[in-house]
Structure 1
Amino acid sequence: MNRVERNEMVTQHLPLVGYLVSDLCSKASHLSRDDLASAGAVALITSADSFDPDLGVPFGAFARRRILGAFADEMRASDWATRSARRRIKETMSVQETLAAALGRTPSVDEIASALGVQQSVVEAALADASRTLT
């Protein structure tokens, strides 16, 4: 495919990027529309460059997967929390909710730490991280 055909394909499918950005931002309003749109546009262009129509996959479906992957990469790059920190937050919050349901009250840091088998400082750090993030 020559450059003119590629540019035409990109231009024709550019609304797909806008749709996917709007869809994602409706679920997670804290994300930057501009950053996602930029990442999506670049993914659309690279999709057009690597697209092989002989594989039988429509370009829209091929590009959609690449655009969503670019969104995931963009969100990971802008996230302050590592995967292990996210896992620790999720596990701590889950134990806190389970204990709250069982005890009928908010559990203490010591009770959560005991249930997790970790030191209080680990629970305090996870709770502090949870309070400053959207999980």
Structure 2
Amino acid sequence: MTDNIMNDEQWREKLSPEQFNICRHKATEAPFTGKYTDCKKDGIYHCVCCGNPLFDSETKYNSGSGWPSFWDVISDDSVARHTDFSHGMSRVEITCKACDAHLGHVFEDGPPPTGLRYCINSAALDLKERS
């Protein structure tokens, strides 16, 4: 795992410009443009910044939102939740618990069994396929 005490210059060296803007400065990729939006491969989605396991492909579903969506996290220790009042609305932001990378948001309109929709930027994820 990457030490989360990196400055912007170090993160810029490690990440692509899109990954840097999304993960370190809370940007959002355009809907339906991310490489994992329609991905159906089996594996574990990790934080692109530090490698922390975040989501299992078994919880991924097509929400129609334009971003990869999951109905659960791999562990309660994998993500942190923060109230986000940006853009004139109240949402729950999801960040990587290990390195504080912005991942996306969670909404209460997902499928059973959790009823949650973790709406995540593809650029924040790195899929490690199961063999």
TM-score bracket for the superposition, by shorter chain length = under 0.3
Which structure has more helix as a fraction of its residues?
1
Which structure shows the bigger proportion of residues in strand conformation?
2
Q: Which structure would you say has the larger Rg?
A: 1
Higher normalized contact order (CA 8 Å, seq sep 6+, divided by chain length): 2
TM-score normalized by the length of structure 1: 0.21
